[in-house]
Amino acid sequence: MRWSEYDSNVITICNIRDPTTSIVLSKQYTGYGRIPVATERVSEGYQYTVELLHDDVTRQVKFQSEDHFKVGEIRGYQKFIRVRRLLEEGYLNEEGSILIRLSIRPANLALRCQYQEEYQTLKEDKLRTQFNTQLNQNAMRIKSLRDDNVSLQALVYPEYASNIFVVRNFTALREAQEDICSDNAYDDLGCCWRLIVYANGDKEGRDEWLSVYLRLLEGIPGSYEYCVELLHNDAAKTVKMEGTQSFDIQERFGWTRFARLDWICANGFVSEEQDALYFRFSLRPPNYKAKCEYHHLLRLDAKRECELLKRELIPAYSTMTYTLRNVSEMQRKDSFIYSDPLVDDLGFSWRLLIYANGHNEARGNHLSIYLILFEGVSASRFEYRVELLHPQNPTANIKMEGVNVFKLKKIWGWPQFMDHERLQEEGYLDQSADTLEFRLSMCPPDIKLKCEYQQEFIRKLKEHQK
């Protein structure tokens, strides 16, 4: 490229006829030798030409000058061309836009070389800055991914539950040919584990090897990751056995040849002051999914144990069934009838008081039922259940149940137990036999009260015999 030539760009400016157009900006212009004009330098000298183009070259409006530019500073011509001339003399093309050609170059050859050198340095600095920024961003992203990976592993792989076991009097245990067990160690699932150490070896390892075993005493049988370590003051010498093993309840797993006894004694594993070996054993489910499954199984076991405990602590109901006969005839009378007595396992006597035609305000349209403690300890707290049985559909039984304090010979119940119309329509009344079937169930709320009532009832019977 010869020095006399400018670097030129033609700019299309649209919306000239739009009266709302207050300012029109061209795209950023890159000048001579790819040197930015007044965008990244402080103050530089340039020669420039601005031309408003026309189909007739002789009518083109041209302005040429040389100036120094500062960043963000505006240079231009307030009276470049009259608007009327612009609109009437063919400067607008068919789309209503105009064309402006901008040509620019450094003021002289020396400046051009200087600008190119400085721009190259500037570009390298920018590229270096961009590279360092991107490198830092990537480093932060990698660190974030590593942190996320650690967090994910903490979820996928549960933490170990670790325990320290000290085998004291090691020399005496070797001489006595005895094994020793750790205390019960519980993991965070609630499973109970023990470490068993044979100080003088077990079976084929006797007299030469230290034998170590793990045992699952209670909990959920299944696959577990284990880590058993014979500790040393120098961590690099610690003897470690780790892996994954399926454990059954009370079944031991381990190593008859865990470590040679002579090597242990020669390498400072035995504390001289306390004559002791130090073990650490750690256990966990192999992954988070397995841990959740074990948790579920433990909850089921706990639920079963709770049900068994309830059966022991909560007394069973004493139950009897009573049939009310000639119901249609009784519904025409205002009389009542007592059920057969229910004598519970405490010796208390209970009865239902039944008004087939209703009692008091329920008379004439309802079945009324009351519960009475005839014999026993007054002011006793009992759970009760009174049921009207359906002849064909047990799921339709009408059930009244709860807890109440009963006094001797005092009635307690339901004047409006069920209306006569419902008895007929829903089939509770056996039409062929003209009967209603009832079931009465009673028991104290817990075993403690049952024992107290039993003792009080026995005391009353002894006093009555005297």
Q: In 3D, which of 391, 322, 313, 315 has the Cα closest to residue 350?
A: 322
User: Is 102 within 8 Å of 50 (Cβ atoms)?
Assistant: yes
Q: How confident is the model at residue 311 (pLDDT cuts 50, 70, 90)?
A: low
Find the length of the chain. Answer: 466
Higher pLDDT among residues 32 and 192, named by residue: 192
Question: What domains appear along the chain, each with residue ranges and CATH number?
Answer: 161-290 (2.60.210.10), 318-465 (2.60.210.10)
Complete edge-to-edge strand list for the sheet that includes strand 7-13: 7-13, 98-106, 43-52, 61-70
In one-letter notation, the amino acid at residue 395 is T
- Residue 120: what pLDDT? 77
Residue 103 has phi, psi (to 5 degrees) of -125, 135
- Residue 65 corresponds to which tokens in the numbers above? 């000058």
Over residues 217-241, mean pLDDT: 92
Percent of the chain with pLDDT over 90: 48
Using pLDDT thresholds of 50, 70 and 90, give the confidence band for residue 212.
very high
Evaluate if residue 257 carries a pLDDT over 60: yes
Report, as an integer, the average pLDDT of 330-342: 92
Q: Where are the beta strands (DSSP E) in 285-443?
A: 318-324, 337-338, 342-343, 349-355, 366-375, 380-389, 398-406, 412-419, 436-443
**CA angle, 211 then 212 then 217, to 5°:** 140
Angstrom distance (rounded) from CA 196 to CA 254: 9
Q: Look at residue 182 in the predicted model and tell me its pLDDT.
A: 92
Beta-carbon count within 10 A of 339 CB: 20
Average pLDDT estimate for 41-66: 78
**What pLDDT does residue 134 have?**
81
Lowest mean pLDDT among 52-61, 104-113, 239-248, 327-336: 104-113
Query: Bigger pLDDT: 7 or 412?
Result: 412
Query: What was the pLDDT predicted at 282?
Result: 94
Distance CA 145, CA 151 (A): 10
Low-confidence winner among 17-31, 362-376, 450-464 (lowest mean pLDDT): 17-31
CB 421 within 8 A of CB 366: no
Listed in sequence order, the residues at least 6 apart from 230 whose beta carbon sits closer than 8 Å to its beta carbon are 210, 212, 238, 239, 240, 258, 259, 264, 269, 277, 278, 279
CB 11, CB 100: distance < 8 Å: yes
Q: How far apart are CA 14 and CA 433, in angstroms?
A: 104
pLDDT bracket for residue 44 (50, 70, 90): low
Question: What pLDDT does residue 139 have?
Answer: 81
* Angstrom distance (rounded) from CA 267 to CA 264: 5
**For range 269-298, the mean pLDDT:** 87
Those residues whose C-beta lies under 8 Å from the C-beta of residue 2, and which sit 6 or more positions away, are none
User: Is residue 149 scored above 70 in pLDDT?
Assistant: no
317-338: average pLDDT: 93
pLDDT category at 37 given cuts 50, 70, 90 is very low
- Quote the pLDDT of residue 98: 86
- Long-range contact list for 16-21, CB < 8 A, 24+ apart? 16/86, 16/87, 16/92, 16/96, 16/97, 16/98, 17/87, 17/92, 17/96
Look at residue 164 in the predicted model and tell me its pLDDT: 94
Burial 445-458 (b: 16+ CB within 10 A, else e): eeeeebeebbeebe
Residue 25 has pLDDT above 60, yes or no: no
Mean pLDDT of 95-116: 76
Assess contact for 287 and 157: CB atoms under 8 A: yes
φ and ψ at residue 146, rounded to 5 degrees: -65, -45
> What mean pLDDT do residues 26-30 have?
52
- Residue 151 pLDDT > 70, yes or no? no
Summarize pLDDT for 285-307 with one digit per residue, the tens: 988 888 888 888 888 887 887 77
List strand residue ranges (DSSP E) for 231-307, in order. Answer: 239-247, 252-260, 277-284
Residue with tokens 């189909």: 55
- In this predicted structure, the answer to whether residue 271 has a pLDDT above a threshold of 60 is yes
How high is the pLDDT of residue 36?
40
Looking at residue 446, what is its pLDDT?
Answer: 86
Q: pTM here? A: 0.42
Q: Token pair for residue 358?
A: 């209703």
- The distance from CA 285 to its chain's CA centroid, rounded to whole angstroms, is 18
The whole-number pLDDT of residue 101 equals 87
